[in-house]
A = this chain, B = another copy of it.
Amino acid sequence: MPEKELIRWLREQIGPYPGIELGPGDDAAVIAPQTDSRVLVTVDCFVEGTHFPTDAAPERTGHKVIAASISDIAAMGCYPLGCFATLAVGRSAPDAWLKALGRAMLTAAADYGAPLAGGDVTSGDGPTCISVTVVGETRGLDPVLRSGARPGQRLFVTGRLGGSLLGRHLEAAPRVGEGLFLNREVGVTAMIDLSDGLSTDLHHIADESGVGAVVRSADIPVSEAAVEMARRDGRTALEHALDDGEDFELLFAVNAAKADELRERWPFDLPLTEIGVITECGVLIEEADGSRRPLQPGGYEHEWNAR
């Protein structure tokens, strides 16, 4: 299928959506944020073989790239508005794969309130590269930054962690409603979505806030997939919960005085777990016997030069 035809096909799939004034087909899309809105922008790149398996169903890959990208807006506690994507299509990608991918991206984006409103498709010789941009808006809220954590605040995490590689990373659900609740109703002070893994992402909050943290190993919510991974590779389920990436759950800090209220008012089925506390310095993990050791960032970092 020539580029033009694929683009036409994709355009036909897109309807008018609230907030999108002008969709694909011109030099740029036009979005109409609310007048009291600042605008958020996040960009993410997904490479075949690194971020999604070559043999993954295109429906799952399409869902994942959109969900993982919108997750960044959820982590700011704000409203997603629209998605944009570029696709450098490897020569081995068949038309049916492309259409299924496109359809899944369109569906996921619309489901999360951020319709796919533009893109660029080109050919490439290597693995397929998908780049996703999500635009969000504040609607009068202040975005929740990574830098707002202060000593004494409590650390919480949503969901259960670890083992997403067994498949959950392709079924990620961005915590948009949860992020908005935490920002608007609770006023959490710092937030991040878990893409690199808890042990790494907690360092991001600590570094950006200029603080430390202690997490209690007994309180980390371990997923069934982490247990399954542990059975397979001999590492512990806790290690998987700490170090595996792509959980796309929310990790956040909240004033101690609000912790009980948060637990009582939490309106979602998704588990909410208090896992530790913000301190002056040092990122530590506390064992059941009270002993503490440094929590090393164990998340995956893409290194392209072992050269």
Contacts and interface: CB of A to CB of B under 8 A. Distances in A.
Contact of A22 (B51, B117, B135, B145): B145
A3 B88 CA distance: 21
Nearest to A37: B33
B43 A84 contact: yes
A146 interface: yes
B41 A146 contact: no
Nearest to A126: B126
Nearest to A133: B133
A25 interface: yes
A41 B114 CA distance: 14
A21 interface: yes
Contact of A31 (B41, B44, B134, B145): B41
Q: Can you tell how many copies of this chain the complex includes?
A: 2
B73 A28 contact: yes
Interface in A274-307: 301-305, 307
Interface stretch (A89-97, A230-238, A256-264, A265-273): A89-97
Contacts of A95: 305
A16 interface: no
A87 interface: yes
Given A3-B301, A47-B124, A133-B43, A38 B31 contact: yes
Contacts of A43: 84-86, 118-120, 131, 133
A62 interface: no
Nearest to A146: B26
A193 interface: yes
Interface in A24-47: 25-33, 35, 38-45, 47
Given A30-B143, A33-B39, A124-B127, 14 more contacts: A26-B208, A27-B72, A27-B191, A28-B75, A30-B39, A33-B33, A43-B118, A43-B131, A44-B120, A45-B88, A45-B122, A89-B304, A90-B126, A126-B127
22 contacts: A22-B145, A25-B208, A26-B76, A27-B191, A27-B192, A28-B78, A28-B134, A29-B42, A30-B138, A30-B143, A32-B38, A41-B117, A41-B118, A43-B85, A43-B86, A44-B120, A47-B122, A47-B123, A47-B124, A47-B125, A90-B126, A124-B129
Q: Which 6 A-B pairs have the closest CB atoms?
A: A126-B126, A123-B304, A131-B131, A45-B86, A28-B42, A27-B75
